[in-house]
Amino acid sequence: MRYVLKLFVSGHTPNSVRAIRNVKKLLDNDLRGLCSLEIIDVLRNPQGGLGYEVLATPTLIRTLPPPPRRVVGDLSERDKVLRGLELPPG
């Protein structure tokens, strides 16, 4: 199964940088070839979060397959992220 993830961040804040690093590590170590990732900086692209109801950043959303699932935070807790997005464990 193929998954589509969108990571919403706010500039280059420490939490945003940490979240980007953590999600890329997760994709490389646990989900290689199973996911596509789009990173949306809501400071550069405020319209990018419309339709996704992003209230806080960083937020990682699995948009496909439906239904969407989301996790908010720096994504440092691997198991919590996998469970929250209903992704297969590595």
Taking only the tens place, the pLDDT of each residue in 2-60 is 999 999 999 999 999 999 999 999 999 999 989 999 999 999 998 888 889 898 999 99
Concatenating the DSSP letter of every residue in 33-47 gives TTEEEEEEETTT-GG
pLDDT at position 90, please? 67
pLDDT at position 45, please? 92
Alpha carbon of 79 to those of 19, 30, 49, 57: distances in Å?
15, 11, 25, 19
Band of residue 1 on the pLDDT scale cut at 50, 70, 90: confident
Domain ranges of the chain: 3-75
pLDDT at position 46, please? 86
Give pTM, 2 decimals.
0.94
Looking at domain 3-75, which CATH architecture does it have? 3-Layer(aba) Sandwich (3.40)
